[in-house]
Amino acid sequence: MFKRSFASKDRAGKTVKPSKKTYRERAKVMMQEKLDSPPVGSPLTSPIVTMVVGCEQRIFAAHEDVLSRSPFFRAALKGQFLEASTKQVVLPDEEPETLSCVLEYLYKGDYSPRLLHNKRRNSWELEGARDAHKTGGRGSSQAIMFHTGIGKVVLRDTVVYCAAERYGLDELKRLALRKQGLQSGIPVDVILRSARYAYDNTPDTESRLRAHYLALIIRSRKTFKRSGTMQMEMEAGGKLFFDLFVAMCNHMDDIMEIRKNRSPKVI
């Protein structure tokens, strides 16, 4: 009887095709290759710049082309014709936390907590805001920061806004202002201290952040009217409170005008 022999290991058997990678696996590999080897001309291939920040001289590092998106840093680096490893910018008056936010924005287009669009409600909210509802506030746990130059806490987004003003980053200013508008439950003394900081660190031609504080105080005038902190701040004076006085007068004029237009005319 004829017996079928088994194929020898030495004989060529059926060719086994390599398993095909899924689209997700291929995309993952390609993305990893891009991260490992940035394309020529990418900002991530430019020289590294070190930054010495604050009174504690904290060291930060960033790519030159990324930093150069800011007119301030572009001008600071323009005259440095040194080796990449020795390029340096000294920022003795900057807060490390603030610069961290600025660098995060330059690399990612946002800073923590991120601004998210709620499609269901068609509104904007801060990342983690829903969790914050359980403990009170709307992301207010990250609303403040300790400023070493002042020695007290101030609104974090105000400090970021003023830094964006110095560094010439208009889009970051708009982002910081929108984020600050989403915060709530901030104590009166923090608001007033932050308002003073805003006035001290922005030019008189600046209107958006200053107008934000004036409108905030007017809207919450009942709370501020009872505040001893507000009384002390008013007595200290300054351009902030002159602007507030003018804004209050304009607000009252607007109310009177509305009432006048609504009242029936006597023939």
Q: How confident is the model at residue 65 (pLDDT cuts 50, 70, 90)?
A: very high
Summarize the confidence of residues 251-260 as an average pLDDT: 79
The answer to whether residue 134 scores a pLDDT higher than 70 is no
The answer to whether residue 116 scores a pLDDT higher than 60 is yes
φ/ψ of residue 115, rounded to 5: -90, 120
Q: How confident is the model at residue 24 (pLDDT cuts 50, 70, 90)?
A: low
> 3-state DSSP: the chain helix, strand, coil percent, rounded to 5?
55, 10, 35
Q: How confident is the model at residue 245 (pLDDT cuts 50, 70, 90)?
A: confident
Q: Give the integer Cα–Cα distance in Å for 244 and 89.
A: 38
Lowest mean pLDDT across 114-123, 210-219, 232-241: 232-241
Q: Give the integer Cα–Cα distance in Å for 154 and 159.
A: 8
Name the burial class of residue 238, with classes exposed (0-12), middle (13-18) and buried (19+) by CB atoms within 10 angstroms of its CB: middle
pTM score above 0.85:
no
The pLDDT score that the predictor gives to residue 264 is: 63
The pLDDT score that the predictor gives to residue 6 is: 44
The pLDDT score that the predictor gives to residue 32 is: 56
How are strands ordered across the β-sheet holding 88-91?
A: 58-63, 48-53, 88-91
The pLDDT score that the predictor gives to residue 135 is: 44
Q: Which residue has the higher pLDDT, 224 or 166?
A: 166
End-to-end CA distance of the chain: 127
Summarize the confidence of residues 106-130 as an average pLDDT: 89
Q: Give the integer Cα–Cα distance in Å for 214 and 250.
A: 12
3-state DSSP assignment of residue 49: strand
Q: What is the DSSP string of 68-79?
A: TTSHHHHHHHHT
φ/ψ of residue 150, rounded to 5: -95, -35
For residues 208 and 177, is the Cβ–Cβ distance under 8 A?
A: yes
Name the burial class of residue 67, with classes exposed (0-12), middle (13-18) and buried (19+) by CB atoms within 10 angstroms of its CB: buried
